[in-house]
């Protein structure tokens, strides 16, 4: 046993009945009883060890989550216990070794898909002798998740403020540019017609093509600003999807891209601007098409776009999830948090304005929904659009899972 310079609080084995030798022991028994009541009601695990790091006591409501029982653990080594938790080489073992030398160790540890705030320190008796270690692990998984969600919402709010500012700027810039661009296009067409053939006609056609590209960017800016005041209407999801596909099916077929449709039965209607939701789907299908053409220029069994619609429920709110999935080049992990930023694009040919996903996100959020992405480089990209249904309906709880089909 190791002497200590100063006394510290003591902890006895909670599985042994306290010895009644006066007021001090009575007080200690009361404290242990209160400690047991607390441990049984809080998601915590508490334990003590001897100097050989064998577990001498174990209790707490958090034991069930870890699949541990006191009778199966007491007497076993800390290392053996951690091995049961697939953590034989974790910082938990290091913390106990440090505690044997007199250190107090505090850290966060992941165990069995949970997160714990862990304290390990020396176990000292009334005579300042060290007898092992005492540890407390508080399950903080719920608090950690809440903090993450709060951070996501704060980031989302900041992103929305940026989008609103850019939207106001975009609207002004687009209106200022639109008229001169139209004039350039008109003059270029006039020159091309009068020049007939030759270099002048060629140059005029090039001017016209570039002006048309600028006009497309201007149109995207105006759409991004979204100042239209169209009324919302209740529409069937299948109608929106089928009207969208009627615009792109021929092009996809021409490029050797297979379109696979999987619309769930009895999908609820959604209240929306049908043209705007159609625009979102066109943007997502267009991105999938470009990814597939880049990955499989000469055709492939995986040169296909999958469009899935499913209903799901969160508490009392029913949503319809539209998923556009492709099996192309994927999105690099370090770009996933940028793809909804205005003017960001992964394309290097100079023909992309980088507004498609920003516009889509703005439209979806205006409809009370959310847009998200899953991607694995070289394997797949899944774009999810969740839109609230017009009326609550019977649907599975939680978002539908996606997978390669």
pLDDT tens per residue across all 405 residues of the chain: 444 554 444 444 444 444 444 555 566 566 666 667 666 777 888 899 999 999 998 888 888 888 888 899 999 998 888 887 765 456 788 888 999 999 999 988 887 778 888 999 999 888 888 889 999 988 888 777 777 667 666 665 665 666 566 666 666 777 678 778 888 888 888 888 888 777 888 888 888 888 887 776 676 556 555 544 557 889 999 988 988 887 788 889 889 999 999 998 788 999 888 878 888 998 899 999 998 998 998 889 999 999 999 998 877 788 999 999 999 888 888 888 877 776 666 665 544 545 678 888 888 988 889 999 998 888 899 999 999 998 766 666 666 766 555
Domain stops at, among 202, 227, 252: 227
Asked if 122 and 223 sit in the same domain, the reply is no
Asked if 210 and 264 sit in the same domain, the reply is no
Q: What are phi and psi of 64, to 5 degrees?
A: -60, -40
Number of domains in the chain: 3
Asked if 81 and 199 sit in the same domain, the reply is no
Asked if 222 and 235 sit in the same domain, the reply is no
Q: Which domain holds residue 162?
A: 142-227
Domain stops at, among 176, 210, 227: 227
Asked if 26 and 89 sit in the same domain, the reply is yes
Gap between the Cα atoms of 20 and 96, Å rounded: 31
Q: List the CATH number of the domain containing 359.
A: 3.30.565.10
Tell me the two tokens of residue 227: 């100042």
Asked if 260 and 377 sit in the same domain, the reply is yes
pTM: 0.46
Asked if 51 and 128 sit in the same domain, the reply is yes
Gap between the Cα atoms of 257 and 244, Å rounded: 16
Gap between the Cα atoms of 370 and 276, Å rounded: 14
Q: List the CATH number of the domain containing 219.
A: 1.10.287.130
CB 291 within 8 A of CB 381: yes
Asked if 223 and 241 sit in the same domain, the reply is no
CB 354 within 8 A of CB 343: yes
Asked if 346 and 239 sit in the same domain, the reply is yes
Gap between the Cα atoms of 61 and 39, Å rounded: 6
Instruction: Report the greatest alpha carbon distance in the chain.
Output: 114
């Amino acid at each position: 046993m190791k002497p200590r310079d100063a006394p510290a609080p003591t902890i006895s084995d909670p599985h042994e009945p306290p010895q009644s030798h006066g007021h001090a022991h009575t007080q200690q028994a009361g404290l242990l009883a209160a400690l047991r009541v607390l441990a049984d009601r809080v998601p915590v695990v508490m334990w003590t060890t001897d100097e050989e790091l064998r577990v001498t006591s174990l209790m707490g409501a958090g034991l069930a989550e870890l699949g541990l029982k006191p009778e199966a653990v007491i007497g076993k080594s800390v290392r053996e216990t951690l091995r049961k938790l697939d953590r034989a080489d974790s910082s938990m073992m290091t913390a106990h070794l440090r505690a044997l030398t007199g250190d107090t160790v505090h850290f966060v540890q992941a165990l069995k898909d949970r997160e714990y705030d862990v304290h390990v320190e020396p176990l000292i008796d009334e005579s300042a002798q060290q007898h092992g270690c005492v540890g407390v692990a508080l399950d903080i998984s719920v608090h950690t998740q809440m903090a993450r969600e709060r951070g996501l919402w704060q980031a989302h709010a900041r992103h929305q403020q940026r989008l609103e500012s850019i939207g106001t700027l975009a609207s002004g810039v687009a209106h200022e540019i639109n008229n001169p661009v139209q004039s350039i296009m008109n003059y270029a067409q006039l020159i091309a017609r009068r020049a007939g053939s030759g270099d002048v006609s060629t140059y005029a056609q090039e001017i016209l093509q570039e002006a048309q590209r600028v006009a497309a960017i201007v149109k995207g800016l105006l759409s991004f600003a979204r100042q239209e005041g169209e009324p919302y209407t209740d529409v069937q999801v299948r109608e929106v999807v089928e009207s969208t596909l009627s615009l792109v099916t021929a092009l996809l077929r021409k490029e050797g891209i297979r379109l696979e449709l999987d619309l769930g039965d009895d999908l609820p209607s959604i209240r929306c601007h049908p043209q705007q939701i159609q625009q979102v789907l066109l943007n997502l299908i267009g991105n999938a098409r470009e990814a597939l053409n880049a990955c499989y220029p000469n055709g492939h069994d995986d040169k296909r776009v999958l469009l899935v619609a499913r209903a799901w429920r969160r508490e009392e709110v029913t949503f319809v999830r539209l998923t556009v999935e492709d099996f192309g080049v994927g999105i690099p992990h370090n770009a996933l948090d940028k793809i909804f930023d205005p003017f960001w694009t992964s394309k290097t040919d100079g023909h992309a304005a980088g507004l498609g996903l920003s516009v889509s996100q703005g439209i979806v959020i205006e409809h009370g929904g959310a847009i998200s992405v899953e991607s694995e480089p070289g394997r797949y990209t899944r774009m999810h659009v969740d839109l609230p249904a017009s009326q609550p309906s019977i649907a599975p709880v939680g978002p539908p899972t996606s997978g390669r089909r």
